Amino acid sequence: MLSSYGTNNIIVMLTVGVILVGIGVYFFNNKFIAIPTLVLGGILILFTLWFFRDPERRIPEEAKKDHSLVVSPADGTVVEIVEEVEKYYHKEKTKRISIFLSPLNVHVNRCPVSGKVEYYEYVPGDYIIANHPKASELNEHSRIGVKTEYGKVFFKQIVGVVARRLVCEIKEGDSINVGERFGMMKFGSRMDVVVDLNTEIYVKKGDKVVAGQTIIAKLNNRGI
């Protein structure tokens, strides 16, 4: 199925695609007009249907039962795992897992944990390439902090050089469940997941992860 987060984009892109195909059909006897417009229209229609797809995901049963487990909030590739001071929510040294999404990945985002949202902030910004080290702070992004029964989890939707919009349905005070859809980053993007320093990380740089399915970490701060 197609994502409801991209309805406006889908309508515009499909409309343009159909118009191009229509022009190609109308000028079918003129190959210099027909071939380019048919090809461009077909590519745009297929790309729209592919990019805005929103497949169902089977959330791991162990993640539903064990709230110490963190699942990937995005499809993509792990590009960085580092220790650093997170200054907005944890306000101490943490571990950060960064996931890069190419335009070919599913861009619908899912909650990495179950818990209560204690912090949310939307930050407008620039549009440098999403896998750039400074993209996390300079690009348009959202910051989300969740308190779980096993510690804090902070995650960020970060748009890239092509993307011009992110969608986030989460707000402060919400209770969220692991694997639930919560938004979308349109076109090439990045997702950062920040966890407590003593968290056990299950992935490594270069791993491919799937939103709502891949378990990426285990929290170890029960009762904090």
Range of 147's domain? 61-218
* Annotated catalytic residue, options 98, 136, 142, 189: 189
Q: Average pLDDT, whole number, for the chain?
A: 90
Co-location of 117 and 190 in the same domain? yes
Co-location of 136 and 191 in the same domain? yes
Co-location of 119 and 180 in the same domain? yes
Number of domains in the chain: 2
Q: Is 94 helix (H, G, I), strand (E, B) or coil?
A: strand
Co-location of 65 and 47 in the same domain? no
Per-residue confidence (pLDDT) for residue 135, from 0 to 100 = 57
Residue 223 maps to a domain: no
Is residue 189 part of the annotated active site? The answer reads yes
pLDDT digits over 1-15, tens only? 777 887 888 899 999
The one-letter amino acid at 121? E
Q: What is the pTM of this model?
A: 0.85
Closest CA to 108 of 176, 206, 13, 6: 6
Task: List the 76-86 sheet strands across, edge first.
Answer: 175-176, 115-123, 141-148, 151-159, 189-196, 92-101, 76-86, 208-209
pLDDT digits over 117-146, tens only? 999 999 886 655 555 555 556 678 899 999
Co-location of 24 and 100 in the same domain? no
**CATH number of the domain enclosing 167:** 2.70.70
pLDDT digits over 88-104, tens only? 999 999 999 999 998 88
Residue 181 maps to a domain: yes
